[in-house]
A and B are shown apart, each in its own frame.
Chain A
Amino acid sequence: MTAANLSNALPLMLGAALVAVFPFVGGKFYGDLMVTTMILGIFALSLELLVGRTGLVSFGHAAFFGIGAYATALLSPDAAPASLAWLLPAVLGITTLAALGVGALSLRTRGIYFIMVTLAFAQMAYFVFHDMKFAGGSDGRYLNVKPVLAIGGFTLIDLGRPLTFYYATFGALVLVYALLAAVGRARFGHALAGIKANEQRMRAAGFSTYPYKLAAFALAGALAGVAGFLYAVKDGFVNPEILAWHQSGTVLLMLILGGIGSLRGAVLGAFFFVVLKEVFQSEALFGAFARHWQLPLGLTIIACVALMPNGVTGLPAQLRAMRTPVPHAG
């Protein structure tokens, strides 16, 4: 590993180490918050593949998060734990199929139309779960017994145990991050970056761009499904609001906050979003005004976007650029 590589990977490894020891120092409340952050981190990472890597701004990504969560709740038996061995593959399969269907149609459009069509599909999914009896309607549905992985009566993983669930979520985040980093380095990821930069040029070179975009959309949907699965298991409860359009907007905000175009930006964006929300919701800090947490949160995000156009991850480069005088052109 070269020095440049090391200095690049060091913050990442430090961050991972901190998260790994956190349950022993952070306490239950903050441990819970950390799990939420990691789940949203996976969700943001999945959208980063579309928005940051491929240049596809989806405004309906919560659909796959929600479908994953609902599939987890609906497939789990009422009185016995589901086995991870089939539940997780089933959730992945369902969300992949859903994303293939939505992607196949919405990827025929571009730009603002793509944004609107993905939004429309997500709203359709929202109303399916909102209005259908089998899913519990607007009341949502409970997941009574959390899934386990057992071999011959011996339980290997019980997601009902908080510490196990913490590390399962952490492992999922690391795996998703590593997978997307590998995708970014591989030919597939380079082709996606080329499509973002100039799709017409890619077609002229001989790339059929539609299957590439569809594959990215399906993968992003499946990974959002993983986040949805974890969300359902964490709270033991799902309701239609997790598919609503503001959920799709929130995950886009996380990307913008963290800096579009980098994996760590997605995770950092999720982290800062959760922290900001938690701060503004705190009655200890804001008293009665904490009820109106959306207002300061919105203003803060507007300020962040205005002051840090490249997000939190772009801040160091931005500060460096401010310190060095602008060279004269020519």
Chain B
Amino acid sequence: MLDDVLLVASNVSRRFGGLTAVDRVSLTLVRGEVHAVIGTNGAGKSTLVNVLAGELAPSSGRVQLHGRDVTRWSQPRRARGGIGRSYQRTTIFPRSTVLENCRLAAQANHQHALNLAGAAVQCPQSTLLAQRAVEQAGLAGQVDRIAGTLSHGQKRQLEIAMCLATSPQVLLLDEPLAGMGAEETERMLGLLAALKPGHAILLVEHDMDAVFRIADRITVMVNGTVIATGEPADIRRNADVQTAYLGEIDIAAATAGR
């Protein structure tokens, strides 16, 4: 079980001048679990993801990966260490094919910058990883499509596929369901469920319906601090959460009839 604790954040804070965007947040990501982080706009969810991914340095606190202190590691180093992330706004390479998008991401683990003799598209390891990621993400029929011509939902799938191509163990997903229709949402939830056994997943999401269906653990953030952490059933009953959300999102209504 201890081997399955992949990422631990302890008392992580991030200040921007006078604003404390993330205030002493602690959380643990375990293999086989989807850990959802919910909260109103400006609660600090995306900043938290950026700090965990190494895109932003924490002002204080500690981040551990596989029991090793990675607080001072750069983002590329953490990525090679097994942290994959997706972005809220799609960040694919629009002019390349779906496969090349993933192949380039996979190449990060097979960097031979000085090898000028071999064509990149023939790199066997990264091509194999890319093909697997494309299939996993449900884009097998689209490998040769130019990424910019995909539908919105497919672009979001590609975003996840690029993340998977780097063979991560920890997935930090920032609103993967944003702007998706009902059918696309179902497909994405199916994908997340399939990824769950092998990965520790942090899911930042506004779609409460989806969160309560898929999350094993939920952390609720308000103004940068964690006001509650627990299993979905506990969070649903939590009085603080209901107060914080009153007038914003009615959790009881969103999860009624289930």
Contact = CB atoms under 8 A, between A and B. Distances in A.
Given A191-B107, A204-B85, A205-B162, A186 B79 contact: no
Q: Bin the interface of chain A by size.
A: 20 to 34
A186 B120 contact: yes
A204 B53 contact: yes
A80 interface: no
A212 B113 contact: yes
A209 B119 CA distance: 20
A300 interface: no
Nearest to B126: A187
Best-buried of B74, B92, B116 by chain A (most CB within 10 Å)? B116
Given A197-B93, A203-B79, A186 B55 contact: no
Interface string B171-202: 00000000000000000000000000000000
Contacts of B109: 206
A187 B53 contact: no
B123 A187 contact: yes
Interface in A206-223: 206-209, 211-212, 215
B114 A191 contact: no
A191 B75 contact: no
B116 A188 contact: yes
A55 interface: no
Contact of A205 (B94, B104, B117, B123): B104
Contacts of A186: 115-120
Contacts of B165: 205
B55 A204 contact: yes
A208 B104 contact: no
Interface in B36-54: 53
A191 B112 CA distance: 10
B111 interface: yes
A190 B166 contact: no
B117 A190 contact: no
Given A182-B117, A186-B115, A201-B162, 11 more contacts: A182-B116, A185-B119, A185-B121, A186-B118, A197-B93, A200-B55, A204-B84, A204-B87, A206-B79, A211-B113, A215-B113
27 contacts: A179-B116, A185-B121, A186-B119, A187-B107, A188-B114, A188-B115, A188-B116, A190-B107, A190-B120, A191-B111, A191-B113, A194-B104, A197-B96, A201-B92, A201-B93, A202-B104, A204-B53, A205-B108, A205-B165, A205-B166, A206-B108, A206-B166, A207-B111, A209-B76, A211-B113, A212-B113, A215-B113
